[in-house]
Structure 1
Amino acid sequence: MVLYDPPIGVMSFNVGGLPSGLAPAKVRAVEFCRLIEQSGVDVVNLQEVWTYRLLDFIRAQLPSFGSVAWRAGLAGQPAGGLASFSRLRLAAPRFVSFRGIRARTGTPLFRVAKAVNSTLQGALIFEIAGRRTLVGNTHLSANRDGDWSTGNRHHTFQRAQVVALHDALRRARDADCEMTILAGDLNICSDSALYPLVVGNGAWRDPFARTNQPTFHADLLPPNRIPRRIDYLLVTADAERYPTTEPDMLFTEPTRLANGRRTYLSDHLALTIRLQLPPMPPPPDRNRKRGTGHGRS
């Protein structure tokens, strides 16, 4: 009989690590890490952790998350601004850069900027040890035009990044992998022409598709800009054996920090789901007798 562990909680959260009108990232991290520690989440995938100092600070605030997945960039910072924390043991991570992906439209300055983005951005990929489960944590280039039409200058560039992302996850899967989880800020809205590509034309389950709630705080957008869902937690696995449940969004309201300031904990909301992981494989039977050969004695 196969025994299943209780479902685990998985989170994706862009911590808003770039300078903004929000409180400094470390000040906000004290509060959002406190809430994460108190939650039932087991694997936390963070984006915009742009410095090693911020990574080290967050790690100190999450003492129950004993495994940390990240790869060092050229300056020692988390590559791609990506870091994942887990209460479960993780296998060694890898970082796949989007280097070489270039914009084919827009001004020369825009094309250079996007080439730089691709060099810095990518996907952090790791396995939950012994669970035949692959996790990808990513942050794609932002479309600050607020226009996700096919004629926008970002369209073909973002399409190429999504194709590279799915290809990296496909190549990282072992033959016995039963589940893949994709978390991150894809910066592609769920009502755009690229959404079918994001979910692989239905190959990936999107637990937030039914409600389709925006994942960026409307108060922090430029005037007349409509908030949309641009962050994702996607799963590909046998839906009957490994259902996803309890899709939820955290940090939806401003919070009072230790310094008395009331602010959002990020410009993004956090996404959480619960799901059943594939069971641990049974230990080898040490008492099983080996077969007897028929060679000459």
Structure 2
Amino acid sequence: MTLRIATLNVCGLPSWLSRLPPIEDRAAGIGRSLEASEVDVFTVQELWGRRSARALQRHLPSFRHVAWHAAASGGPAGGVATFSRRPLGPVRYRSFAGTAPRTSTPSFRAWRALNARRQGMLAVTLDDVLIVTTHLTANKDGDWSEGNRYYQFHRDQLAVLHAFVRERGPARQTVLTGDFNIASRSPLHRFVTEDGAWHDPFEHTDLTTFRAEYLPRGSTVHRIDYILLDGPAEAHDARALFADEVLSDHVGLTLALRGGTRVVTPPPPV
């Protein structure tokens, strides 16, 4: 069977923190494209608040199976959620609480530690496929070198993420998606893939996933979003999603998994 997966940071931030229209105004465009696509599973990041989550859900009527861990506000904890056309299994969530920078000023370390508590990772199963989506802390310096104050912070978050994935035990096929906020050409990439334990289907094309117009002037664009694979399935048709339509400050990714997975097609509704 074939399973097509897509991921996007939808930039569901409050209006005073974003130059984009509210996600409630962009949800129709996201839904229109996905409803006309062959995507089976859509993982999202930065979907903050119950209102935003429900707005996106309304525009994805064929993605009837929705997974998130409810925050106190009722919206997705960590801003991460998964929408699926196929039935999903139990949901697990963990935040990045306990991770913090080890260098720089006390105020910087304290604010980043607080921010880490609000971000996290979500795991859900679809038959024998484990699908995880995550959102790591943003590197506001735009520097992923070993001397940067975010470097060890990101290494610690990656260690928490990979431990979280392994907690379920071995899965026949695991898919890890999300906004890692780590440049694919940086020294941290080896920790993203655990020295090649994860297959990175976008490694050679290495397309840009953050739009240049939303970066400070003079900044370099990078791929900071990933779909990583661990298991026997092969990736096909790995490409950008929403590259030509500005529906977020990120460009999404999508690919099809073939072979090595057992995906049960649900019966048609009665």
SS in 2 for 1:137: strand
Query: Who is 1:71 aligned against?
Result: 69
1:154 to 143, 150, 154: 150
Query: Who is 1:108 aligned against?
Result: 106
Query: Who is 2:247 aligned against?
Result: 265
Counterpart of 1:15, as a letter, is: V
Q: Aligned equivalents of 2:172 and 2:250: distance in 1?
A: 30
Query: Who is 1:243 aligned against?
Result: 234
Query: Who is 2:124 aligned against?
Result: 126
- Percent identity (aligned): 42
2:205 to 194, 198, 211: 211
Larger mean CA deviation between 142-151 and 113-122 belongs to 113-122
Query: Who is 1:141 aligned against?
Result: 137
SS in 1 for 2:163: helix
Query: Who is 1:13 aligned against?
Result: 8
**Pairwise mapping of residues 155-234 of structure 1 onto structure 2 (< 5 A)?**
155-173=151-169, 175=170, 177-234=171-228
Query: Who is 1:252 aligned against?
Result: 243
Show structure 2 runs of 5+ residues with no match.
Answer: 265-270
Q: Aligned equivalents of 1:279 and 1:14: distance in 2?
A: 28
**Aligned-pair CA distance for 1:252:** 1.4
Alignment length, in residue pairs?
260
Larger mean CA deviation between 196-205 and 16-25 belongs to 16-25
Show structure 1 runs of 5+ residues with no match.
Answer: 255-263, 282-297
Deviations along 1:158-199, whole A, 9 cap, x unmatched? 1100010000001123x5x20100010000000111100101
Structure 1 length normalisation: TM-score? 0.85
Structure 2 length normalisation: TM-score? 0.93
Q: Aligned equivalents of 1:189 and 1:106: distance in 2?
A: 21
SS in 1 for 2:160: helix
**Aligned-pair CA distance for 1:74:** 2.3
1:61 to 56, 59, 66: 59
Q: Aligned equivalents of 1:17 and 1:279: distance in 2?
A: 33
SS in 2 for 1:183: strand
2:261 to 278, 287, 290: 278
**Aligned-pair CA distance for 1:280:** 5.6
Q: Aligned equivalents of 2:227 and 2:46: distance in 1?
A: 17
Runs of 4+ in 1 over 6 A off after TM superposition: none
